[in-house]
């Protein structure tokens, strides 16, 4: 099972990725994790990436694709892999295609933006334990207070409405075009084209998990 999970920030990709990797016994490949591992292992690409990051630059797509190719040669990728947060842009998708990286499925989790804003901006966290609440879906017994300790809850900067809206606009501009890229490629039926599956990310976590598992069997 070799797949990419697409969807806006807050669509629940991380939660669903954990279910998919467990069910199929495949690793979740995140470019952030790969970069950190390559830097730590001091591989040639890792050293090159570290130089760029230390200088405050963005690691090029060529280096990222090189890291992906190195990662896919490892034993745990024999049964497949799930790409997490990659590719993010059309040039990265082209580079992946040109490197002949096999994909079986591209799954898009669709959630309306207003739902995402409500989901994310309603989160409240207990900083020292990481316990998390939601003002609407999972409220604490007393507003803005942790159930167990009575400590005040906080809203993380990442979850503030203006931050969420900014992240969504970046997604629309940079990553949303991948939806057209992969769906149109799938429609061609060309050799090597992945199957494209689009499904709703609204509802209970278990319902969404079942939708994904059904999509991956069709």
Contact criterion met (CB below 8 Å) for 35 and 49: yes
For residue 97, what pLDDT is reported?
93
131 given a catalytic annotation: no
Q: What percent of the chain lies above the pLDDT cut of 90? A: 78
Lowest mean pLDDT among 25-34, 72-81, 125-134: 25-34
Q: Which residues of 4-24 are buried (b: 16+ CB within 10 A; e: fewer)?
A: bbbbbbbbbbeebbebbbeeb
123 given a catalytic annotation: yes
pLDDT tier for residue 88 given thresholds of 50, 70 and 90: confident
For residue 211, what pLDDT is reported?
97
pLDDT at 179 over 90: yes
For residue 181, what pLDDT is reported?
97
Strand partners, 30: 84
Question: Average pLDDT, whole number, for the chain?
Answer: 93
For residue 55, what pLDDT is reported?
87
Kindly name the residue from 50, 88, 97, 165 that is annotated as catalytic. 88
Q: What percent of the chain lies above the pLDDT cut of 70? A: 100
For residue 34, what pLDDT is reported?
87
**CA 25 remoteness from chain centre:** 18
Q: How far is CA 70 from CA 63, 74, 103, 198, in A?
A: 11, 7, 16, 30
- pTM for the model stands at 0.84
Kindly name the residue from 13, 119, 197, 211 that is annotated as catalytic. 13
- H/E run at residue 30: strand 28-30
Kindly name the residue from 165, 167, 176, 209 that is annotated as catalytic. 167
**What number is the average pLDDT over the span 149-164?**
94
For residue 30, what pLDDT is reported?
86
156 given a catalytic annotation: yes
pLDDT at 42 over 90: yes
For residue 62, what pLDDT is reported?
87
Interatomic CA distance for residues 196 and 215, integer angstroms = 9
Query: Residue 81 is encoded by which pair of tokens?
Result: 């892999």
Helix/strand/coil for 29: strand
Kindly name the residue from 2, 71, 119, 123 that is annotated as catalytic. 123
pLDDT tier for residue 119 given thresholds of 50, 70 and 90: very high
Kindly name the residue from 36, 51, 156, 160 that is annotated as catalytic. 156
Instruction: List pLDDT tens digits, range 3-16.
Output: 999 999 889 998 99
């Amino acid at each position: 099972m070799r797949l990419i999970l697409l969807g806006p920030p807050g669509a629940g990709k991380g939660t669903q990725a954990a279910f998919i990797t467990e069910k199929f016994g495949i690793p979740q490949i995140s470019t952030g994790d790969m970069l950190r591992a390559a830097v730590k292992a001091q591989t040639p690409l890792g050293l090159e990436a570290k130089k760029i990051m230390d200088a405050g630059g963005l690691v090029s797509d060529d280096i990222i694709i090189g890291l992906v190719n190195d990662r896919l040669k490892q034993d745990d990728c024999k049964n497949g892999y799930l790409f997490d947060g990659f590719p993010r842009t059309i040039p990265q998708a082209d580079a992946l295609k040109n490197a002949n990286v096999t994909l079986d499925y591209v799954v898009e989790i669709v959630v309306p933006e207003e739902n995402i804003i409500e989901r994310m901006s309603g989160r409240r966290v207990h900083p020292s334990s990481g316990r998390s609440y939601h003002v609407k879906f999972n409220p604490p017994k007393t507003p803005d207070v942790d159930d167990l300790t009575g400590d005040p809850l906080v809203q993380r900067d990442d979850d503030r409405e203006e931050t969420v809206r900014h992240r969504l606009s970046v997604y629309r501009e940079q990553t949303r075009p991948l939806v057209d890229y992969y769906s149109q490629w799938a429609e061609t039926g060309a050799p090597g084209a992945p199957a494209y599956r689009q499904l709703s990310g609204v509802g209970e976590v278990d319902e969404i998990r079942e939708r994904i598992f059904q999509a991956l069997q069709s």
